Structures are given as C-alpha cells and as structure tokens.
Amino acid sequence: MFTEEEDRDRLFNENYRHLLHLGWSAHFQAQLTDRCDEEVIPARVVGVRKNNFRISDGKKERLATVSGRLRHNADGVYPVAGDWVLVTDTVILTVLPRINTLSRGAAGKRGKQDELPQKEQVIAANLDRVFVVCGLDRDFNLRRIERYLTLIYTCGLNPAIILTKADLHENPEQFRAEVEAIAFGVPTHLVSALDETGLVEIEAYLSPGQTTTMVGSSGAGKSTLVNRLSGRALQVTGAISDSVGKGKHTTTTRDLIVMPQGGMVIDNPGIREIAFWNDNDGIGDAFPEIESLAAGCRFSDCSHSHEPSCRVLQAVADGELLQSRLASYNKMKRELTYLSDRQHKSADHLEKERWKGVALKVKELKKRNRNK
C-alpha cells in the first residue's frame, strides 16, 4: 500500500513524466486539482509572438492563441515565455500560478522620477537563474551591471554574470576583477569567441529541467552564446556598429530553447531601459557593503549625502568606497523609494474609492427605506 504522499508522487511521475524535461514540478502539479481532462492539458509557453504563442505539451509544439475571456480580463495574468498554461487544442485558457517572474517597468518612460513607468512588463516566468550578459567592448559598464543586479534581486531571483568577447583583450581577467568588486558573491564568467573559454562553466547551469533567461544590451552576445552552447545556429546574430558601438535588435521575440545539456534558455531582445517595478529589498543584495556601512551612521534615515557622522560618506573619504558606486546606490534607492510610495498610495487610493462606493450604496439604501 502507498501512503497518500507516495501515491501522489507516483501519479505525478506517471502522468506528467513527459513534462519533466520542460521544468514541470510538484508546484504546478498542485495547481491542477480537477481542471485537467482529455481536452484540457498543461503546456509550457516556449515562444511569444505578436498575436500568438508557441506552446509545448512535452511531446510536440504548436501555435496557440489566448481565449477571449483571458484576453479581455484586465485583472488576469497574460502568458509570457516560461509560463505554464492550461490549453484546449490551440487555445490558452489560463496561466498556472508562477513560482517567480523577472519583471521591469514598461519601457518608454525616461527621465525624472515623476515619469517612472506606470505598468509592469513581465519578461519571463518560472526561472532558476538570470544571466546578465555584457560584452567586453563599448557595452562594458559597471553601473549598468549594478542596475541589472538590483532589478534581478528585487524580483527575488539568482544572477550570474557572463562577460562575452573576452578575446578582444590581452588580459580580460582585469574586467572580471572589476565586476567581482561590485557584484559580491555573484558567479562571473569570461567567454571568448575564439575558444571554449567559460562555456563549460556555463553549461553547469543548464542541467535538466532548469530554466535560465538572459538580459543585456543589443549586441552583447546573447544569441551568439545560445548558438555556441547549443552547437548550432538557433538564433540570428548581427554585427556591431563601428561608429557607435551598439548592436541592432536581431532578437525580436522571446523564445524558450531546450538545450542539448538538458536545461532551457530564454533569449530576450536587448534592453535599453532598466526600469524597476518591484520595490523589494533587492538593493541591499546588490550593495551589501553600503548597507553594512549604513548601520554605523548616526541617523537611521541617513541619505548618505550630507548628514554629519555618516559612516558611508566617511568610507568614501577614506577610499574604502568609490564615490561612483555610492552615487549609483543613492540614485536607485531614490527610485525604489519613490516607486514604493507611489504604489502604496495607489493602493490606498483604490481602497478609499472602494469604501466610497460602499458608503454611496448604503446612503442610497437608507433613502429608499425612508421613501417607503
């Protein structure tokens, strides 16, 4: 006789074994209850296009569209690459609850704080790791890497940094040292186009059932990295402009690619604007040394800009901390604080509006009772 837990595990393995290589787990199994039958089955979103999605049920891929109910449900969760969904034939009915998401503020709001993004853009879902891909050419920028790390940490995800085009330099290790000095504890790998440098290390992240996504600028080498890890040309790549050192958007869609190592990689278009959406304490993970120094400040709400007895400013004066890193920290701290305040105020506003509607209904009911 099987125990209840053993019986559940046995049925999980028997009925959904064909989904395991796509990352299916007990988390998603628990969401099914009685919603699946011969017509409604689980599948994973492996490609996002303008008007449709590529889905895989573990045996074959096909194109699908979302149901009208899901499309017009303003509060509904819309599918993204990496999502698990319930489908009937070629129609996506619902998105199963996610383990996590990589989200940012929707692009298009540059400039001042009062122009911060007004809505969330979910880039990918159900991830085990996020690769920050940066080329060792004009793309190399420590401040941008800090921003990517803060974005990833605010989403509760684990980063790894991939430095591509290491063959452009006689001593690429100096770049790795610079990155490691601002990315505490984050695995950092050098990749060269001329040999297999770094590829074996990266393959360790691609064990069966593991899902990784990549973020970085256009031309950083994300698609080239996918092609090299897969051993064939899966993604289109493009040249870098000699005049401005920037790449074109050769990747225009989001695709989940099953790699020969057994894991999966979601390739994303290049990101120009790294805008935050979540206000979780990711900045503390991205700047742990500043957070540690801040504990020694006289004031608990010290802004580390002008206050007396500021331990952080003293560290800058003593050469313990670079002014550029503190400036980066302060800038993102202000953005995240503003974002948090705005979202909380929005929630309070919605609550007030809801109770205002309730009060009006009560008033109307009392008026009707008096007129009877």
DSSP for 35-56, written as a single string: ---SSEEEEEEEEE-SS-EEEE
Q: What is the mean pLDDT of residues 316-343?
A: 89
In a domain, 224, yes or no: yes
Give the burial class of 203: count Cβ atoms within 10 A of its Cβ; 0-12 exposed, 13-18 middle, 19 or more buried. middle
CATH number of the domain residue 87 falls in: 2.30.30.140
CATH number of the domain residue 331 falls in: 1.10.40.50
pLDDT reported for residue 353: 59
Cα 23 from Cα 44, distance rounded (Å): 9
Task: Give the residue among 294, 363, 357 at the shortest CA–CA distance from 329.
Answer: 294
In a domain, 216, yes or no: yes
In a domain, 282, yes or no: no
Tokens representing 103 are: 């989200």
Q: How confident is the model at residue 39 (pLDDT cuts 50, 70, 90)?
A: confident
Same domain, 316 and 299: yes
Q: What is the mean pLDDT of residues 19-25?
A: 93
pLDDT reported for residue 249: 45
Query: Whole-number mean pLDDT of the chain?
Result: 83
Cα 114 from Cα 98, distance rounded (Å): 30
Same domain, 174 and 261: yes
Cα 132 from Cα 136, distance rounded (Å): 13
Q: How confident is the model at residue 247 (pLDDT cuts 50, 70, 90)?
A: very low
Same domain, 248 and 142: yes
pLDDT reported for residue 268: 84
Same domain, 32 and 109: no
Same domain, 244 and 153: yes
Same domain, 77 and 105: no
Residue 289, pLDDT above cutoff 90: yes
Per residue in 134-153, pLDDT tens? 999 988 999 999 999 999 99
Whole-prediction pTM value?
A: 0.81
Please state the domain count of the chain. Answer: 3
Radius of gyration of the chain (CA): 24
Domain end point (choices 66, 95, 124)? 95
pLDDT reported for residue 236: 55
In a domain, 146, yes or no: yes
Domain end point (choices 62, 95, 128)? 95
Provide the CA 150 distance to its chain's centre, in angstroms: 11
pLDDT reported for residue 95: 94
Cα 95 from Cα 71, distance rounded (Å): 12
Same domain, 151 and 255: yes
Q: How confident is the model at residue 193 (pLDDT cuts 50, 70, 90)?
A: confident
Q: Which amino acid is at 261?
A: Q
Residue 46, pLDDT above cutoff 50: yes
pLDDT reported for residue 42: 93
Q: How confident is the model at residue 194 (pLDDT cuts 50, 70, 90)?
A: confident
Domain end point (choices 95, 112, 147)? 95
Choice between 242 and 328, residue whose per-residue pLDDT is larger: 328
Q: What is the mean pLDDT of residues 149-159?
A: 94
Query: CA dist 315 to 12, 240, 294, 330, 332, Å?
Result: 55, 40, 10, 15, 19
Element (H, E) at 306: none
Choice between 221 and 11, residue whose per-residue pLDDT is larger: 221
pLDDT reported for residue 49: 86
CATH number of the domain residue 123 falls in: 3.40.50.300
Same domain, 126 and 161: yes
Cα 9 from Cα 26, distance rounded (Å): 8
In a domain, 36, yes or no: yes
Residue 258, pLDDT above cutoff 90: yes
Residue 217, pLDDT above cutoff 60: yes
pLDDT reported for residue 113: 47
In a domain, 140, yes or no: yes
Per residue in 101-133, pLDDT tens? 999 887 655 445 445 556 788 999 999 999 999
Q: How confident is the model at residue 328 (pLDDT cuts 50, 70, 90)?
A: very high
Same domain, 55 and 110: no
pLDDT reported for residue 100: 95
Cα 184 from Cα 13, distance rounded (Å): 39
In a domain, 275, yes or no: no
With a pLDDT cut of 90, the percent of the chain lying above it is 52
Same domain, 204 and 220: yes
Question: Which range marks the domain in which residue 71 is found?
Answer: 4-95
Residue 346, pLDDT above cutoff 70: no
Do 197 and 166 meet the contact criterion of CB atoms below 8 Å apart?
A: yes
pLDDT reported for residue 339: 79
Residues 58, 60, 61, 66, CA torsion sign? negative
In a domain, 354, yes or no: no
Point out the least confidently predicted range of 231-245, 279-293, 356-370: 231-245
Same domain, 170 and 306: no
Cα 237 from Cα 221, distance rounded (Å): 8
pLDDT reported for residue 242: 47
Cα 267 from Cα 223, distance rounded (Å): 7
pLDDT reported for residue 79: 94
pLDDT reported for residue 111: 47
Same domain, 226 and 105: yes
